[in-house]
Amino acid sequence: MSTDNKQSGFKRILIAIIVAALAMAAGIWAARAVLEHNSVQDELDATRFPEAREIASFSLIDHNNAVFDNSVLKDRWSFIFFGYTHCPDVCPTTLSILNSVARKLGDLDEDIRFVFLSVDPERDTPEQLAQFVSYFNADFIGVTGTPEGIEQITRQLGVLHIRAQPEEGASGYLVDHSASVFLFDPDGRYHAVFSPPLSADAIAGDFKKMLQAYQ
């Protein structure tokens, strides 16, 4: 009886010690995780989420008519920019910046995807996008789809896109759209966002820091 009591007493103390040790370890781990997240964010121009966000399913097609959905995002880092091919100022400027980013990150041992996602599916066919994106970089991917498909992803990211009312006598219409660049990690999660004004140096530098923190 008394031996049993003694033993269970020991057991309780032992459990208490283990629990305390685990709690302490968890506390340290959590604190370090928080500190680490904060210190990474402090060094960034980009907005990085402490916890990358899962994205609900969406289904689109790329410029080769292949399916582009959540599963495609799950193998490497992806930079996504939303725009349209009839956009003469912001979109070519941003794709040129992303091409510089691609070159700056070329020495990394990472397969990185750059996506131009159309918010003007009416005019941006896969064929149109193929010519548009490859003008900037042969490896860039153009993505389009149905208005519903595009809405599935833009709504989740808070990407605004509004067809502007054409001016009297204007040739075609303009689309107001988000000028930010969105980063997805190899888990297919929304990892960070780069807001304008964009710079290739800042994006490449931030990406390297985030890559280090991710590994």
Residues that bind other proteins (CB under 8 A): 85-86, 88-90, 92-93, 95-103, 128, 131-132, 135-137, 160, 164, 167, 169-172, 174, 176-180, 195-197, 200
Residue 202 CB, nearest approach to other proteins (Å): 12
- Residue 215 CB, nearest approach to other proteins (Å): 27
Report d(CA 110, CA 74) in Å as an integer.
14
Q: Which is nearer to other proteins, 144 or 180 (CB)?
A: 180
Which CB, 72 or 198, lies closer to other proteins? 198
The neighbour count for residue 178, using CB atoms within 10 Å, is 19
Residue 133 or 210: the one with the smaller Cβ distance to other proteins is 133
SS (H, E, C) 125-152: CHHHHHHHHHHHCCCCEEEECCHHHHHH
* CA distance linking residue 183 with residue 160, whole number of Å: 17
Q: Minimum CB separation from other proteins for residue 51, in Å? A: 22
181 close to 96: Cβ distance less than 8 angstroms = no
Minimum separation from the CB atom of position 29 to other proteins (A): 35
Terminal CA-to-CA distance of the chain, rounded, Å? Answer: 54
Residue with Cβ nearer other proteins (57 or 165): 165
